[in-house]
Chains A and B, each alone.
Chain A
């Protein structure tokens, strides 16, 4: 069973701080990795994707991938209350479908 694991949280950070969200996956053959944000009662919204080892930055967001450790992370700099949501890690296991983790709930306190 191919798994994607996340700490469900909640992760609470003060406004302006860096939020660090982590994810591990079991399928060593996975090639593409995605972070989605989901507000309560809404659909997943793509934030970033990463295919290669290392860091990828987009505005306040940085995705980090370490395939040897089977580890993906998302850093959110200068966290805002509007960033409060559940963050879903998703992995493409070479079959085209995405496998989602449970999600980490982030709370940014003003």
Chain B
């Protein structure tokens, strides 16, 4: 069964360092998303991406965040200068349709020290 894959599963970094989280969406999907979930809190939308550009971004997705689809398969989230409050689980998701179900990867746990 097709699935969304994410790497790394866990990353520990020092405050101020840059982090890149990688995702391989399901191959025939066209819509890509990043969500995050701080421990004990709700799943929060960060950004959606379609046709090689950002469709929508949340207030959380400020200038320290960027997304890229560098080739036909990978979808990356870059956090330029990490803060303590960026510690969370980051989920990549993809969808075949704009109003369809999202399929989530297993997540990348980011710990900022």
Contacts and interface: CB of A to CB of B under 8 A. Distances in A.
Q: Do chains A and B interact in one complex?
A: yes
A98 B45 contact: yes
Contacts of A101: 42
B42 A103 contact: yes
Interface in A56-109: 88, 90, 92, 94-103
B85 interface: no
Contacts, number: 56
B: interface residue count bin:
20 to 34
A11 B29 CA distance: 35
Interface of B: 31, 33, 35, 41-45, 48, 50, 55-56, 91, 95, 98-107
Given A44-B43, A98-B102, 9 more contacts: A32-B100, A43-B107, A44-B104, A46-B103, A92-B99, A96-B31, A96-B48, A100-B43, A100-B44
Interface of A: 31-32, 34, 38, 42-46, 49, 88, 90, 92, 94-103
A31 B106 contact: no
Contacts of A49: 100-101
Contacts of B104: 43-45
